[in-house]
């Protein structure tokens, strides 16, 4: 005899009880471990902040000291401050040469930042929105340029500038700074996500040319990335030392970075130049801090929005 098993189906009004599902056990985080992780994070951030802020603080404090107290007093505290006198001596030394160096730095940094940003924006926009043969190979060359150190290009640039008679001119420093491979990379990433194809197609239907579309539509949508690349290039050119050292020989063309090193090299024969070098460096750092703080809002948005799709 075989037994048949009948499966009972629930009636429409009957609800068949189901077995309760077992939830995965949650890992309990104790209050002590949470507080310990917060304390560890805050401590690490405090140490990192102290590491970066201490040299700037020492520089600002040392800029208020005279020749006698610069080396004979505690470096992290004030001693007979004379900031006004130091500033007057720095700006009036050798026929106001430091003012000339600051003006040269502004010419190099502002001009180089504007030129590099426009070229990077146009190249990045073209790589992101146009399809042409060899696009990926060209972008690979741009990425290779990001990894190439600038010091490796100093000698070829010097030989090229010498061939065309461009040494000891402003263009010898400006033209190499018009090229920014990292700016091209950042602009392509940002343009691919921030410039919709529908807007470009609508502008073409309305009869706008490609150049007008780039300057009137795309460049406005890419404003955060434009500000980011401009700030990066401004800081890099302002702090650049090796390229002006190779290209320039006349002191009247020196930027502040190269001029301050010149003062430091002469301080053994004229100890008063130590104070002028420290004060001039503090002025240069304050200008950079002001530029970064004024553009910080655009800088952060450019770094975050450009990575989103």
Q: What is the pLDDT along the chain (309 residues), one digit of tens a residue?
A: 444 444 444 555 454 555 555 555 555 545 656 787 888 899 999 999 999 999 999 999 999 999 888 888 888 899 889 999 999 999 999 999 999 999 999 999 999 999 999 999 999 999 999 999 999 999 999 999 888 888 888 889 999 999 999 999 999 999 999 999 999 999 999 999 999 999 999 999 999 999 999 999 999 999 889 988 998 999 999 999 999 999 999 999 999 999 999 999 999 898 889 999 999 999 999 998 888 888 776 665 544 454 444
Could you tell me if 97 and 251 are in contact, meaning their C-beta atoms sit under 8 angstroms apart? yes
- Taking the domains of the chain in order of start, what are their residue ranges? 87-305
pLDDT of residue 222: 92
- Burial (Cβ within 10 Å: 0-12, 13-18, ≥19) of residue 81: middle
Q: Record the tokens describing residue 282, joined without a space.
A: 């503090």
Q: Is the pTM of this model over 0.85?
A: no
In DSSP notation, 185-251 reads HHHHHHHHHHS-HHHHHHHHHTT--HHHHIIIIIHHHTHHHHHHHHHHHHHHHHT--HHHHHH---G
pLDDT of residue 7: 47
Distance, CA of 81 to CA of 74 (rounded, Å): 13
Distance, CA of 257 to CA of 227 (rounded, Å): 23
Could you say which DSSP state residue 253 is in? G
Give the architecture-level CATH label for domain 87-305.
Answer: Orthogonal Bundle (1.10)
pLDDT of residue 308: 45
């Amino acid at each position: 005899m075989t037994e048949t098993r009948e499966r009972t189906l629930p009636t429409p009004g009957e609800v068949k009880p189901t077995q309760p599902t077992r939830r995965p056990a949650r890992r309990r985080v104790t209050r002590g471990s949470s507080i310990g992780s917060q304390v560890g994070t805050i401590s690490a951030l405090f140490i990192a902040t102290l590491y970066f802020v201490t040299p700037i603080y020492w520089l600002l404090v040392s800029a208020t000291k005279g020749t006698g107290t610069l080396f004979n007093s505690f470096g992290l505290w004030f001693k007979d401050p004379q900031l006004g006198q130091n500033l007057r001596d720095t700006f009036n030394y050798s026929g106001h040469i430091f003012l000339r160096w600051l003006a040269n730095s502004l010419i190099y940094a502002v001009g180089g930042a504007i030129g590099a940003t426009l070229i990077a924006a146009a190249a990045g926009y073209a790589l992101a929105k146009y399809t042409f043969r060899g696009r990926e190979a060209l972008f690979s060359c741009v990425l290779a340029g990001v990894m190439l150190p600038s010091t490796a290009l100093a000698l070829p640039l010097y030989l090229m500038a010498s061939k065309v008679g461009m040494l000891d001119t402003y263009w010898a420093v400006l033209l190499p700074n018009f090229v920014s491979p990292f700016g091209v990379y950042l602009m392509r990433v940002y343009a691919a996500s921030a410039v919709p194809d529908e807007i470009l197609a609508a502008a073409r239907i309305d009869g706008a040319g490609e150049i007008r579309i780039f300057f009137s539509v795309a460049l406005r949508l890419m404003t955060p990335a434009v500000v980011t690349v401009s700030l990066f290039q401004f800081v890099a050119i302002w702090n650049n030392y090796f390229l002006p050292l190779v290209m320039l020989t006349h002191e009247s063309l020196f930027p502040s970075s190269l001029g301050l090193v010149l003062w430091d090299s002469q301080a053994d024969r004229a100890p008063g130049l130590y104070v002028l070098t420290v004060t001039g460096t503090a002025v240069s750092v304050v200008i950079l801090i002001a530029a970064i703080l004024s553009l910080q809002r655009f800088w952060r948005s450019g770094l975050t929005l450009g990575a989103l799709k």
